């Protein structure tokens, strides 16, 4: 079961990176069924980008823990 969840988490990593790169290039990030535009609302745009980065780090750590058996849950 850990392997399956780790693989799903690992598959999310490229999607998150792609979303962040596209958001920086186009100046808008998706949120639900809408977008936050950098030109119209720079504060919320950068906040959303920071949230995407935090999610990216978290999902990467989860994938590494489950796929490589790092046992980070016991360390914390």
What string of pLDDT tens digits covers the 76 residues of the chain?
889 999 999 999 999 999 999 999 999 999 999 999 999 999 999 999 999 999 999 999 999 999 999 988 787 6
Contact by Cβ (8 Å): 56, 20? yes
Residue 72, pLDDT score: 84
pTM (2 decimals)?
Answer: 0.89
Between CA 50 and CA 56 the distance in angstroms is 10
């Amino acid at each position: 079961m850990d392997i399956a969840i780790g693989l799903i988490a690992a598959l999310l990593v490229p999607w998150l990176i792609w979303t962040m790169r596209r958001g920086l290039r186009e100046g808008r990030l998706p949120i639900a069924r809408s977008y936050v535009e950098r030109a119209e609302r720079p504060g919320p745009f950068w906040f959303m980008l920071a949230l995407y980065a935090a999610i990216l780090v978290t999902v990467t750590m989860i994938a590494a823990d489950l796929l490589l058996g790092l046992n980070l849950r016991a360390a914390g």
